[in-house]
Amino acid sequence: MTHKAPKVKAVAAAGVSAPDAIKAALPMQLNEFARLHGFARTAVSMCIHGRQRHDRVRDALAEELGVSREWLDELIDGPKAPAAEAGGAPKVA
């Protein structure tokens, strides 16, 4: 059996911005994710763009994406410079 890294890790490792990597890896649109978990869509958007820190949103995102909360925090809170200049996304474990 082969261990497959979560999709968000592959997308982030390719140098895609954190918000775009998260949106690409979610199996649904942001508004559907927000509705499913009882969040305002704006709260989810502000969270993935690193403008507001919503712990419940981040917990739900980490679970949905199959990554640890710590990895997601590092992805969202990491350097805002382009991934190629900033050393890329968090290391894929």
- pLDDT by residue (tens digit) across 58-83? 999 999 999 999 999 999 998 654 54
Q: Which residues, 6+ apart, have CB-to-CB distance to 92 below 8 Å? A: 5, 9, 10, 13
pLDDT of residue 86: 45
pLDDT of residue 2: 42
Share of residues in the chain with pLDDT > 90 (%): 59
The number of beta carbons lying within 10 Å of the beta carbon of residue 17 is 17
Structure pTM?
Answer: 0.75
Q: What is the mean pLDDT of the chain?
A: 83
Q: Which fold has domain 8-80?
A: 434 Repressor (Amino-terminal Domain) (1.10.260)
pLDDT of residue 16: 85
